[in-house]
Amino acid sequence: MEKTFFRLLSVLILLSLAAGSFACAAPAPAPTAPAAPPPSEVTPAPAPAPALVPAPSVPSPFKPTTSPSNPPANPIIIMASTTSTGDSGLMDVLIPVFEKKTGYVIKPIYVGSGAAMTMGERGEADVLLVHSPDAEVAFMQAGHGATRKLVMHNDFVIVGPAADPAGIKGTGKATGALNKIASAKALFVSRGDNSGTHQLEQKLWLQTSLNTTGQAWYQQTGQGMGDTLQIANQRNDYTISDRATYLAQQGNLDLEILLEDDAALLNIYHVMQVNPERHDVNEEGAAAFVDFMVSGAAQSLIGQFGVDKFGQPLFVPDAGKAEGDLAVP
């Protein structure tokens, strides 16, 4: 009897505790929604925004996400570029501006465009600034590049001794000038380094149907544009140069421009970000440099570069333009 009493008492206690727990767990009643305001107090819906008109294709302002006061996590950017951007002094103007605005540090490597793209293919550079359009397209199609943007252009010129032994001055066409040089067996020095300049030269020789291999009058330096100009100057050779490097070194040269203004001598520069999905590169830094090169700030500097010293810009800024609309300066 006593055991039964205690069992019943235990059951009653458990039931009482369970009921209390259920009461605590029960959800609070939902709040009553406020009454709707009278019709006169209802706030009208905002008017739909007007349709945006696409902005014209012009260089954009450069708005870096980093700065010296907000330094990037990975500050070093390896930029591989054609020798002409270094020999002309252009990058000596652009790089400090970019570094000051962003806190990044550019490590430039000046080689021929072909060598620069080889570095990109190996993931040895983060960003490229080159002037070999056909090779650039192949680079992008092979998946080595993430972006490719038009930056600027100038033109190539054929330079040589003032005496002009092959008589190319006034020829008008680059291929005609090369034919005359070959016929006269006048000395011609090539960069021979697979640079953008060398590739342009080889394309012109191909159009003449002339074979320069093994010809005593045709020699290669394997050097950059500045060095090749100095060698041609010492030997009174003809050579092909980008206009910017020639003008930058003109004070130390006896060579003269003997042929220019041929559409075949157009010299176009693009900036390309190396593909971070294929290579271990500085993705953020490369993207920032690409954006800077096509920004209004950089394009303005490019358009002014050389005017004070040579009376003409050494490069024509082209961001936002169609490549097919470009012409020799």
Q: Where are the domains of the chain?
A: 76-154+268-321, 155-265
CA atoms of 232 and 239, how far apart (whole Å): 7
What is the tens place of the pLDDT at every residue in 255-300? 999 999 999 999 999 999 999 999 999 999 999 999 999 999 999 9
The confidence score (pLDDT) of residue 58 equals 59
Q: Is the pLDDT of residue 12 over 90?
A: no
CA atoms of 181 and 306, how far apart (whole Å): 31
Which amino acid would we find at residue 265?
L
Which residues lie below 8 Å from residue 282, measured CB to CB, with a gap of 6+?
74, 76, 77, 78, 126
DSSP 314: S
Which amino acid would we find at residue 112?
G
Instruction: Let me know if domain 155-265 sits in CATH 3.40.190.10.
Output: yes
Mean pLDDT along residues 108-137: 97
Whether 193 and 223 have beta carbons less than 8 Å apart is answered as: yes
pTM: 0.78
CA atoms of 324 and 4, how far apart (whole Å): 102
CA atoms of 217 and 237, how far apart (whole Å): 9
Same fold for the domain at 76-154+268-321 and the one at 155-265? yes
Which amino acid would we find at residue 35?
A
Q: Is 35 exposed, middle or buried (0-12, 13-18, 19+ CB in 10 A)?
A: exposed
The Cα diameter of the chain in Å comes to: 136
The confidence score (pLDDT) of residue 71 equals 79
Whether 110 and 81 have beta carbons less than 8 Å apart is answered as: yes
The confidence score (pLDDT) of residue 86 equals 94
Whether 89 and 136 have beta carbons less than 8 Å apart is answered as: no
Helix axes 133-141, 113-121, angle to 10 degrees: 10
Instruction: Let me know if domain 76-154+268-321 sits in CATH 3.40.640.10.
Output: no
CA atoms of 67 and 249, how far apart (whole Å): 35
* Number of other CB atoms surrounding residue 222 within 10 Å: 13
**Closest listed residue to residue 281, CA positions, set 115, 76, 84:** 76
Q: 3-class SS at 32?
A: coil
The confidence score (pLDDT) of residue 45 equals 40
Lowest mean pLDDT among 28-37, 56-65, 100-109: 28-37
**Closest listed residue to residue 220, CA positions, set 203, 234, 204, 239:** 239
Q: Is the pLDDT of residue 237 over 80?
A: yes
The confidence score (pLDDT) of residue 102 equals 96
Q: Is 293 exposed, middle or buried (0-12, 13-18, 19+ CB in 10 A)?
A: buried
